[in-house]
Structure 1
Amino acid sequence: MTPVVDLPDEILCNVISLAIKNWRIFPKVFKAGNDFQDCVALIDVSRVCRRWREAAITDPTLWSSLCIVLHTPSAEVLRQLAYFVDICSARSKDLPMTIAVSIMHLDDLRLAHPLMRSIVAQEHRWSRIAINVIRPREQEDRMPIRVNEPSTNYDINLSAAGGDLLKEFQFNIGAWFTYSLNGPLPALETLKVAGYKIDGAAYILAKWSPFAPNLTELEMTVDASQFTFSTAEREINICGEEGGSSEQRFLLPKLRTLTVLPSFLPNLTCPNLEKYIMGSIPGGYSHLLCFLEFIDRNAPPLRTLAVRDGSSFLDNDMVRLYLTPTITTVIVKGPLDGFFSILSKSSPGGAGVLVLPALEQIELYECYTKYLDQLSALVLFRWDTSNRTLKSVKLCRCFQSMPEALMRPGNADIDVAEVEERWQGIARPFYVNFGSAKK
């Protein structure tokens, strides 16, 4: 067996890369892969000896990905981090860069300005980038933080944004940036921008959509807990000057997944949309009309509806109108009583179901154990109706002590009769239907 000291540099760098990737597990930020390394760990590994340091420094692939997570950083830490980004940029040479930055509990967004400048200086090399900056929790209920100095002191402009390299772009401080994109972004598939107001959405989309013909996922959200910046109001002014008002229309021909407020839907035409994601189901008929007109305007019909706030899933007439008959998959996080009751309504005469008659799949996330009986009753209700369209129920981070066998639908070894009684209502329809329960 070859001693470590005699390993060729390329094998040694592969070993270092694997060690970095397994240093810790970072949340899956990116849709198209999660292969970035932790560069802080890289520095530690490269300090083992002179040979390791020389091998690490001369291999640009080890420095082309940055994973940064900070809690309550000081101004000095952020300056050091900006310097570290410059080092990584130099050592990675001309390779495409993947950057994921998460900063929590930052009091003043201006402290991150040097870091953002260092990151944006390499925008022509961006492949995937995700930046998330969150204020301290105690500030979330306050008015958004604004900057009194002239905005030009802190302006950050994007012009290249990765060019033909960029695949994903995620910023929760989109109002900080101005955009003067001037070249195509053919590889861009995912665009996610969050801010304090929805007013700037038309401006941002007007700047990006002409250069991103292959966009398949768009998320534009509003979060009052986020930072706002003086550029936010300038965006709205620019938007008005350029005719980018709230009535501007955008055609997104390849978009499959969409997350925006219903009030922004009149601006969009998405002929290939498959999935619409709502933060919550809003009250007010104006939002509902925006949604229904959007559904009528697009083809093929919407098949998947996701709601991130299950507490807004109420059993009332307005919510029922959001549940259009073409929907076959419904995804809900944190479902409460209203979700189970509205999907358990019988049609007039009791022969079928009143809501979502074509429903094939239910996906629930973070469902409390106390709703197990209601879920079981819902599954059996859907199974006993004449149309019997329901095919699967997917549960993630739900309940406790779920039998392992239920995690593997179609398992021929499961005996429904031996499953604990409280789980049988969920198990029986699917396993009996596919002949996988023992006779």
Structure 2
Amino acid sequence: MDSRRADELKKALALADKDIEDHDSEVDRLQTQIVFVQGEKKRLETQRAKLRSLLSPVRKLPNETLLHILQYVCRENVLQSSTLGLWTYPPAMAISSVCSRWRELALVSPSLWANLTVEMNTAARARGENLTGFVTFVDTVTRYLARSGDWPLRLALTIRGLCHRPAVVPLMQQAYRWKTFRFRGVQSLTDYKIISPSHFPLLEELDVDLGITSNDLDLFKHCPRLRTHTLYYPAEPTSEVFHQLEHLSSSGQSLVVLAEAVHACPLLKSLKLGPTTDTVLEDGTLGTWHNITSLSLERGSSINLVFSSLNLPSLNTFVIDGTGQGDWQANLFTLFISRASCMITTFTVCGISMSDSDLIAAL
């Protein structure tokens, strides 16, 4: 190849390189433009979603209807002092962060903040775990109490370890507006010394576990509205509290002791039974409980023992959860109904094996 031909090829290669560089530059420019356009598209899609949300049916709901929905969601605000807890779900706080309308509605609706489940793990605090989180927990409890205003409180309190008074005192100071109170702890209320005998004008339901004593119950002697109590071992019906109860729940209790509690409750109408400590009763039946109109046998309760020992002539509502109880004992049930001669109008059975013929016979 002569030198002239070689020069022409070199010029052609140079032009090709230049064209490639130009195309690369154009590709870069177009890619940059694509990224820009894609960003604009995403921004417009976000804006469109926001604009579309303004037409959402939920925005057409009046505040009164929306408040009913939010109250359903806020039936339980779980506040935990330690991340070692199973879960933390404070819906009222979350609702107040959704939008300005929801926040305004939440802040003027004390009922959303008045259902509190407070779980205090002072054992974790004593080990030096999550100290900042514990301070935040106390602040959150205080904030909920403030935002609940004077609304009746539904309080469930659990204490693991020693009592941290800065967190408990604000709750105790609101005892005058407790509507329900549930307590779990490694010590009794008397041992913790966090509550003194007082007047509880709004308290309707009491549920205190773990070694409850008559002294604990005596803390709640002045509760004119108290109608529901949950009885745990080794409690005995010696407190004045029993004289005004209409609803009683029992778990881990002997049926003999339960019978004493029932006789100590002249106004008792409904009874909910959990697991019992009995396997057989030496004296047969426990007598006749004339006032009981509603009986609920919870999971783990001794269904067959109840069938063979109770006489409830006024019973009209009967709920049975037979999960894990085996087959239905039709003969014992027939004996129970025959003994009571009651007229049951509401009958619910779940979690138990029953043939069609047994079901028809029961009905």
Using structure 2 for the length normalisation, give the TM-score. 0.57
Q: Distance in 2 between matches of 1:63 and 1:325?
A: 40
Q: How does 1:12-411 map to 2 (within 5 A)?
A: 17=67, 20-21=70-71, 23=73, 26=76, 40-48=90-98, 51-52=100-101, 55=104, 58-61=107-110, 64-68=113-117, 74-75=124-125, 76=131, 77-92=133-148, 94-101=149-156, 103=158, 107-110=160-163, 112-124=164-176, 126-134=177-185, 173=189, 175-176=191-192, 177-179=194-196, 181=198, 185-201=200-216, 204-205=217-218, 207-209=219-221, 211-219=222-230, 221-222=232-233, 261=235, 263-265=236-238, 268=240, 277-280=249-252, 282=254, 291=260, 295=263, 306-310=272-276, 312-314=278-280, 316-318=281-283, 320-324=284-288, 326=290, 331-333=296-298, 334-336=300-302, 338-339=304-305, 342=308, 356=311, 358=313, 360=315, 362-368=318-324, 370-372=326-328, 374=329, 376-381=330-335, 388-389=341-342, 391=344, 394-395=347-348, 397-399=350-352
Compare CA radii of gyration and give the structure with the larger one. 2
Q: Is the Cα–Cα contact under 8 Å of residues 280 and 310 in structure 1 kept in the other structure? A: yes
Indicate how the Cα distance of structure 1 residues 371 and 298 shifts in structure 2: closer, same or farther if over 3 A, else same. same
**Structure 1 residue matching 2:155: 3-state secondary structure:** strand
Bigger helix fraction: 2
**Structure 2 residue matching 1:215: 3-state secondary structure:** coil
Shift of 1:83: 0.3
Aligned residue identity for 1:391: I
Cα distance per residue 1:102-153 (max 9 Å; x no partner)? 54xx64233x4332123234445x2435354456xxxxxxxx6xxxxxxxxx
Indicate how the Cα distance of structure 1 residues 335 and 62 shifts in structure 2: closer, same or farther if over 3 A, else same. closer
Aligned residue identity for 2:161: D
Structure 2, unpaired ranges of 5+: 1-50, 78-87, 126-130
Q: How does 1:418-433 map to 2 (within 5 A)?
A: 422-428=355-361, 430=363
Q: Is the Cα–Cα contact under 8 Å of residues 116 and 156 in structure 2 kept in the other structure? A: yes
Aligned residue identity for 2:356: W
Indicate how the Cα distance of structure 1 residues 128 and 396 shifts in structure 2: closer, same or farther if over 3 A, else same. farther
Cα distance per residue 1:167-220 (max 9 Å; x no partner)? xxxxx7454224153xx544443344445352524xx52x542x4344333446
Aligned residue identity for 1:43: M
Q: Is the Cα–Cα contact under 8 Å of residues 175 and 200 in structure 1 kept in the other structure? A: no
Indicate how the Cα distance of structure 1 residues 14 and 277 shifts in structure 2: closer, same or farther if over 3 A, else same. closer
Q: Is the Cα–Cα contact under 8 Å of residues 174 and 195 in structure 1 kept in the other structure? A: no
Count of residue pairs the alignment pairs up? 291
Indicate how the Cα distance of structure 1 residues 309 and 427 shifts in structure 2: closer, same or farther if over 3 A, else same. same
Cα distance per residue 1:234-291 (max 9 Å; x no partner)? xxxxxxxxxxxxxxxxxxxxxxxxxxx3x434x559677666654455398xx69x93
Aligned residue identity for 1:394: F
Indicate how the Cα distance of structure 1 residues 179 and 332 shifts in structure 2: closer, same or farther if over 3 A, else same. same
Q: Distance in 1 between matches of 2:207 and 2:106?
A: 33
Aligned residue identity for 1:427: I
Q: Alignment RMSD, CA only?
A: 5.0
Aligned residue identity for 2:213: I
Question: Identical aligned pairs, as a percentage?
Answer: 10
Shift of 1:339: 1.7
Name 2:6's counterpart in structure 1: none
Cα distance per residue 1:355-397 (max 9 Å; x no partner)? 638474554234435222x1x23344556x6985463673454
Aligned residue identity for 2:96: S
Indicate how the Cα distance of structure 1 residues 313 and 363 shifts in structure 2: closer, same or farther if over 3 A, else same. farther
Shift of 1:340: 6.8
Q: Distance in 1 between matches of 2:226 and 2:147?
A: 31
Q: Distance in 2 between matches of 1:313 and 1:108?
A: 34
Q: Distance in 2 between matches of 1:47 and 1:21?
A: 16
